[in-house]
A and B are shown apart, each in its own frame.
Chain A
Amino acid sequence: MHERGRRHLGLEDWREAARLAEACSGFTPDVEEEQVADEVVSCFNCRYRRWNADSVSCVAPFLQ
């Protein structure tokens, strides 16, 4: 999900979210109550993901 500019994941792309986060140096876990993925390291559990109506986008300021 992290590259220059915003990238998006589908709301059900659980496996891809985990794969991308494992390879991302910017992954930062969000607070417990906002984590939803069972994989600890996942874009869906990252403080810098933003939920949209039909996708999740990366808003990491240092990666934009």
Chain B
Amino acid sequence: MNILVSIDDTDNLESRGTGELASLLAAQIEQYRWGRSSYVTRHQLLVHPDIPYTSHNSAMCFSAVLEDCHPQRFIEHAARFLESESAPGSDPGLCVARPALLVDDAPLIRFGRSAKEDVLTKEEAYDLARELGIHLSEHGGTGQGVVGALAGAGLRLGGNDGRLKGKLQAGSAGSAVRVDVLRSHPLIEEVDSLNGESVLDDDLVRLGEKVKAVLLGGRSVLLVEADGEAEQGVRWRTCSGRTLKKY
């Protein structure tokens, strides 16, 4: 059974990040042999004076396939995990959605998009979760994190938002790597160019210091841009952090 797990608002200025907790939860699914989990994505939400957030207001989400664990058992585990691992003063929220059970996924995707532009309330989040049959729960503080948790699930489901957590190990910075080699990386599903030009298997990509993928078209995509210097036949370079900030 496919699930989406999204959490938000588990940290404070001194604690581990929400992304690390998401990674730990994803790893536990495999460690306990409950199933398989996918990469964690980070989704930027609105920063606004009326929204309480620590420093950046982002939600973290991953997908998983549960093979030997009932979703309810996982939900109870994740709830206990958030209650024990979230930082003091945080307002953690947990969302577990089963996309296959959604009659219509559009409202959830819309909610995710709205959370990037509008101030949304807990009540709106709970109402939508109830309507769609999605698990949504709060685990400390004000529980305000339920808004971001539900939004994170919607944005992940929409497939066109967010950056993958973690730097990709694809070679040393400054080296040139063939596109087909990058496409065979376990965390890269596609290599695309920023400007829409075709990226060919035998093209070369100069790797930057920090190689990161984004979620586009429901896939993990390594975005590249034209290498202005184009030395030694290297046509592309990986995008800078500044460029990827908007994803």
- Give A contacts to B, CB under 8 Å: 14, 30-38, 47-53, 59, 61
Contacts and interface: CB of A to CB of B under 8 A. Distances in A.
Interface of B: 13, 16-17, 19-20, 42, 47-49, 54-58, 60, 163, 165-167, 208-210, 240-242, 244-245
B165 A48 contact: no
Nearest to A11: B245
A38 B243 CA distance: 10
Contacts of A35: 210, 241
Given A34-B58, A38-B208, A47-B13, 8 more contacts: A31-B20, A33-B58, A33-B60, A33-B166, A37-B242, A49-B55, A52-B47, A53-B48
The 10 lowest CB-CB distance pairs between A and B, nearest first, are: A31-B17, A36-B245, A33-B165, A33-B19, A50-B55, A36-B241, A33-B42, A38-B241, A38-B240, A51-B47
16 contacts: A14-B242, A31-B17, A32-B19, A34-B56, A36-B242, A36-B244, A38-B209, A38-B210, A47-B13, A48-B55, A49-B55, A51-B47, A51-B55, A53-B48, A53-B49, A59-B13
A35 B57 CA distance: 13
Specify the main secondary structure of chain A where it touches its partner: loop
Contacts of A38: 208-210, 240-242
A9 to B, nearest CB: 14
Contact of A33 (B13, B49, B55, B163): B163
A53 B116 CA distance: 11
B241 A37 contact: yes
A56 B221 CA distance: 28
Contact of A32 (B56, B167, B242): B167
Contacts of B165: 32-33
A14 to B, nearest CB: 6
